[in-house]
Structure formats: C-alpha cells, structure tokens
Homo-oligomer: A and B are copies of this chain.
C-alpha cells in the first residue's frame, strides 16, 4: 500500500541576465523534480520574484518531456527574468503566496545578485518561521561566482566571443587598420579574455586584451596600439565594457546615463559609446586611418546554435543537483558548486555548499591569468578556458 504523505510544491524561477543555457538548468531542475516523484506541483514563476508576488506561474509538471528538452536547447530565460532585490516586505508577501500554494522548496537560477536574493528569501523565511528549503542554481556569462570553477553560461558566451574574434580577425586581415571589439563583463574579465581562444597562429588577433582587473590608461592604450600596428601591420583589440581607470571608476560609466538596477549595478551594455570613444581617441592620436569599433552586445548571451556542449550538460546538471538537494531535508539555503577534477581529461564534480559562496561577492580574474604586460592573458587562462568552450570552427589562411 502507498504511504499517504502530503507532497509539498516546488517553485523554480530565473533571474538576472539570460544566457544561452539557463534553460538547461530550468529543464534539469524540472526533470529531476518530476523524476523524483517526491514533489507536489512543479511551478515555474514568471519573471523571477515578480511572478511569485503576482502569482504568475507556469505548471512545469504539465509541460511534456519533449517540449522541456526543446526549451532546454533554446537561449534566454524561458520563464522570463527580473533584476529585483527582495525587501523584507516583499518576503512577507512571498511567504503569504507560498503558504496559499503550499510551497516548500524554492530554486532560483541566476548570478550573484540572484544568489543574494535567494539568501534574503531564505533568511526571512527562517525569521518568519516559514518552512522553506532554498537552493540557488548558478548561471552567469561573467564567470564571476566564487562557488564555481566556472559558471554555467560562461562556456557558451565565451564560445560566441572566441568565434566572433576568429571571424573578425580574418576580416581585419582582409581590410587592415584597427578593430576594437567591446565585450560584456562589468567586473570580471573572463569573457573578454576568452577572445584569446580565437588565436591559432602567432599573428592571429586579438593582439591586445584589456580587462577590468587592470587599470586602464588611454595613453598606454595608444602606445600599445601603435606598437601592435608596427609589429603586425594591423590590430584587433578585445576591450571589456568594465575597464576602469586608476581610481577604479569604470570608463564606460560616463556614457551610461547612470541607469541602475535595484542591486545598485550601473547599466553598461546596450550601447556602442565606449567603443566609439576609444576609436575616436585612436583616430586622433595614432595616425591610423581605418579604425572601427563593434560592441558585441546581447548576442553574446542569446545567439542560438553557438552553445558549448560541456556548458549545456553542466547547466542541466546543476539544475538537477539543486532539485535533489532541497529534497534531502538538510538544505535551508544552499548553492551548487562546480569543481574541476584533477587529471588530464576534463571533467567536473558538483557539490551542494552554503549559499554565501555565491551571494554578493564576486570573483575577478586571478593574477595567474593576466599577462604581465597588462594587455593580454596567460597560457594558464587559455588552458583553463579551452575545454569549457569546446573545439572551435577551423579557419584556414593562405
């Protein structure tokens, strides 16, 4: 005879910037939850915490396995997203809604701000005496969570960036001059650094790489470009949107109009101003006639068909691990960590660890990944990133 015990419901939601594989995590969580048979309803909240507050849900238990796998392979956040830091009042409202629906488990897929939002919800639940197991599911193209060797979403975005630089370097070979490409990454340079994976030959670009971790000086920039022009007769440059001056002030902040989200982050993407500013400076100071700037923008996180296989698998798995974790009864507020296994062949392990490892604080590029000259990455970085990104298209030159 079946044991009659009331199964509590689980809410899954997505938050922050989309990635190419964030739906893999959603599908992984929903799939594992369904397979366990130990949850009641599997509810997807629309637009993160906003959907919980307004009661806007998709019943993921009713989505077919086939459709779920199609969603997994689709870029961007299928449930919709938000950039909201929950207040104590929000949390009280959340628990009222959760109580009505008998929600006992909450998975929040997102970056460090989303981990912090999940932590706040968990802390407030404890204060309010509401029985809730919370697990954050990591994702961010920025690769800046301390809890992960690398974050789901980074590998695919890095694959887009590396592919883009391969093609753009060939374009620059054909027509010459200077080409600046501005890459996403507010605080950490990992995604910009991934441009280095485009190089196969000694004279392949990017010839210069500027990271937020290294103070940026316009004068040094001009000198670096002139030196590269002398050496290669052309110059392809990767610039992080988050480059900062000596005082730590983002160069791009002067163009953003000061728009901020509720976590206090200044908006930087969605404008070509930083690239245009740098191109103008080079035109005026270096004597190079043909200077062009592109800003890769949102394509880096949403372009279909450029996903990294390792990234897809890992994103699916962290979702599944989180769903199983909240079932264990031992988890109140946790995140899923990714550890790279030792050994020559690339593989990873997953762990359920305290949410503080992902929340609030971010990670920058370690010194061992940054070249001494301040405008390149090291061999160590390339070896770190290559297996996450996967094999790139072959390009041949005459």
Residues of A at the B interface (CB closer than 8 Å) are 14, 17-18, 20, 44, 47, 58, 63, 67, 70-71, 73-83, 163-164, 166-168, 170-171, 173-175, 179, 257, 269-273, 275-276, 279, 283, 291-299, 301-306, 392-398
Judge whether B78 and A397 touch: CB under 8 Å: yes
Apart from A76-B173, A82-B175, what are 12 other A-B pairs with CB-CB below 8 Å?
Answer: A17-B175, A20-B167, A71-B396, A73-B396, A75-B171, A83-B175, A164-B299, A166-B304, A168-B298, A292-B298, A294-B299, A304-B392
**Complex: chain B residue closest to A392, CB-CB:** B304
Given known A-B contacts A167-B75, A292-B271, A174 and B394 have beta carbons under 8 A apart = no
Judge whether B270 and A292 touch: CB under 8 Å: yes
Residue in B20, B276, B298, B306 whose CB lies within 8 Å of A294: B298
A304–B78 Cα distance when bound, in Å, is 27
Chain B: minimal CB distance from A240 (Å): 16
Chain B: minimal CB distance from A296 (Å): 7
A292–B163 Cα distance when bound, in Å, is 24
Residues of B within 8 A of A175 (CB): 17-18, 80-83
A76–B67 Cα distance when bound, in Å, is 38
Residues of B within 8 A of A79 (CB): 398
A31–B279 Cα distance when bound, in Å, is 40
Judge whether B272 and A74 touch: CB under 8 Å: no
